[in-house]
Structure 1
Amino acid sequence: MEAALEVTARHCRSELDQYGRCVAASPATWQQDCHQLKLRMARCASSHPIVQKIRHDCAEPFTAFEQCLKQNQASVMNCNEHLNQFLLCAEQVKLMTSGE
């Protein structure tokens, strides 16, 4: 995730800024109000090779994390273990890619 965030911050600054402003302006309804901006930011970030590799190599832990979030919308802290598994995977991809 850190690698994805770095790529997003570096290559998708405008999309990230717009999404961040939208979320800050709509604390109660940001998931609905900012959905299109989130998609635009995700499309920008996903076009980068490191993000594509993380999405491919870490699809299983990410899917588990997403599923956990859907099942625990009221208490997303229950998904910390799933998030940690995904982050660990993403960090390994990042390390392997930077060593090539």
Structure 2
Amino acid sequence: MEISARYCQKELEAYGSCVASNPSTWQQMCHDLKMKVSKCTSTHPVIQKIRQDCSQEFVKFEQCLRENQDSPTTCTPHVSRFLGCAETVDLSGVATNPAHQSS
């Protein structure tokens, strides 16, 4: 997540604020912001590697969010599992070209 924050901080902060501000309608209200985060994170090779290696945990987290739209905090354990996985991903040999950084 540190890597996502480093390269997509603006997008992640906007999306997080939107979700927090719209607890019962965030799925609809924050869709465009979610797409901006997705676009930003999909362009960086380090983030791609984490999403690939931790895809199962990420899918379970997204499924939890869909099933608990009115109470996204229910999915905190899923976030923790995804973050735990992300911390174990071997990033040696992955290009970290800052040219992908969002401005």
CA RMSD of aligned residues (A): 3.0
Residue 45 of structure 2 is aligned to residue 54 of structure 1: no
Give the superposition deviation at 1:38: 3.1
Return closer, same or farther for 1:73/1:32 CA change in 2, 3 Å cut-off. closer
Matches within 5 A, 1:29-68: 31-68=27-64
Q: Letter of the 1:8 partner, please give it.
A: C
Q: Secondary structure at the match of 1:88?
A: helix
Q: Secondary structure at the match of 1:61?
A: helix
Structure 2 residues not aligned, in runs of 5+: 95-103
- Partner in structure 1 of residue 91 of structure 2: 97
Q: Letter of the 1:75 partner, please give it.
A: S
Q: Secondary structure at the match of 2:85?
A: helix
> 1: CA distance between counterparts of 2:85 and 2:93?
16
Q: Letter of the 2:91 partner, please give it.
A: T
TM-score (norm 1): 0.67
1:20-76 per-residue CA deviation (whole Å, 9 max, x = no partner) reads: 78x39x757664344334313321221100111011000000111111111112222
More helix by share: 1
Return closer, same or farther for 1:82/1:2 CA change in 2, 3 Å cut-off. same
- Equivalenced residue count is 92
Q: Secondary structure at the match of 2:91?
A: helix
> 2: CA distance between counterparts of 1:4 and 1:84?
15
> 2: CA distance between counterparts of 1:68 and 1:3?
23
Q: Letter of the 1:97 partner, please give it.
A: L
Q: Secondary structure at the match of 2:52?
A: helix
Q: Secondary structure at the match of 1:97?
A: coil
Structure 1 residues not aligned, in runs of 5+: none
Percent of aligned pairs with the same amino acid: 48
